[in-house]
Amino acid sequence: MTGAYTVREAVADEDREACFAVRREVFVEEQGVPAEIEYDTYDATAVHVLAVRADGVPLGTGRLLHGADATVKTGADASVGSLGRLAVAGAARGLGVGAALVRAIEDAARERGLTAVDLHAQTHALGFYERLGYVAYGGEFPDAGIPHRAMRRVL
């Protein structure tokens, strides 16, 4: 338990639906990302993590791509995972949920024998990821019309 919430891998169907609901709230509704690009084929094979309040309300989510799925985003390096779709519900921001989700994704990466985790951070979130040990590399690029930078943390 992390404060008033827990973080776990989302394996049950209802957990995965809760992950998708948080992503819909944050990316589709708040940030205007088209739903047709928010959900993709990687969702079927990704490791999803979910933060839930003690009463079952979903607070946040993220996912880890690994193996062949990750190589598309990590420069063809199968030893590097790809953290993505990190989203924290508006009411849960400032509670440490995002950091707890990142650490859970890193734990899942270690369990799968990965040596590093890459991510594409929205530029406004660079400081958040830097505080967690991620280092930006390469230039800024748009993703869904939002400026991003690539980042990596060696595990």
pLDDT tens string 43-82: 999 999 999 999 999 999 999 999 888 887 777 788 999 9
Burial of 113 (0-12, 13-18, 19+ CB in 10 A): exposed
Q: What DSSP designation does 91 have?
A: G
Structure tokens at 138: 């390469």
Beta carbons of 106 and 115 less than 8 angstroms apart: no
List the beta strands (DSSP E) in 15-115: 47-53, 58-65, 80-88
Residue 3 has pLDDT above 90, yes or no: no
Please, are residues 25 and 88 in contact by the beta-carbon 8 Å criterion? Answer: no
Q: Does 1 have pLDDT greater than 50? A: no
Q: What is the mean pLDDT of residues 118-125?
A: 93
Q: What is the pTM of this model?
A: 0.92
